[in-house]
Amino acid sequence: MLLLITFTAVFAPLLATHDPLHTDVLQRLQAPSREHWMGTDGLGRDVFSRVIWGARVSIAVGLSVTIGSTAIGVFLGIVSGYFGGKVDLIMQRFVDVLMSFPLLVLSLLVIAVLGPSTLNVGLTLIIAMCTRPIRVIRGSVIALREETYVLAARATGASTLRIMMRHILPNVVAPTLVVASIALGNVILVESTLSFLGLGVPPPTPTWGQMLSLDGRRFFETSPHLALFPGIALTLVVLAFNLFGDGLRDLLDPRLRGS
């Protein structure tokens, strides 16, 4: 499923049968046919082409946000867990404040201040999604900093930066990959929710949440296919990344191997 989704996103210009932005009011609200495989929306745009291009937007936003939030989370998690004390206390209280807000509510607050745009959506989701990696990596680092090889490196005079990069960071790769893979599906879902509410990537750029809101909701009774196809695409993408994250966790966690 992930290979198919990635292939669709990368080769969207070749797979799309029509221009996703081209409008034709004479062809509006057409049912699925040989010419328009998934029908047309309220402006006569081809739904299949818009679903294909929507995959590119969702994957691009999901990957960029996941990479950014994971990088910030790993850095702050290592610093917080290794130094402890007041540094850890201040960072964790900041994380507590962010985590006290539901993810969607926090995203809505930041978007309301910054305004809807692709860049602002990315920055908002990075801020909202970096808390979980911080907590996970911090917990791992607290256990690792007392390991014999870390104490030996410290005793030989290794610098703090060298210990973090050479001895701590390689040992938190496994939990980082698991957290990132699961977060990717959540990012795509939240981005679609923001687009559904009109606070995500602005039109006319096609996104699945926007398609569900602008046409799928307005014409659901007469043209249910407008909500059906982007809804199925969104469900499959989130399901695929969640299954991938669960499988990766089972593979990398020695306690779960063979269970």
Total domains in the fold of the chain: 1
- For residue 252, the one-letter residue type is L
- Asked if residue 164 is part of any domain, the answer here is yes
Rounded Cα–Cα distance for residues 216 and 228 (Å): 8
- Asked if residue 134 is part of any domain, the answer here is yes
What's the confidence (pLDDT) of residue 209? 87
Rounded Cα–Cα distance for residues 153 and 170 (Å): 15
- Asked if residue 222 is part of any domain, the answer here is yes
- Asked if residue 4 is part of any domain, the answer here is no
- For residue 207, the one-letter residue type is T
Which residues span the domain enclosing 205? 46-253
- Asked if residue 32 is part of any domain, the answer here is no
What's the chain's average pLDDT?
Answer: 85
- Asked if residue 70 is part of any domain, the answer here is yes
- Asked if residue 34 is part of any domain, the answer here is no
pTM of the model: 0.84
What's the confidence (pLDDT) of residue 254? 58
Q: CATH no. for residue 211?
A: 1.10.3720.10
Residues in the chain: 259
Low-confidence ranges of the chain (pLDDT < 70): 253-259
- Asked if residue 6 is part of any domain, the answer here is no
Q: What is the DSSP letter of 145?
A: T
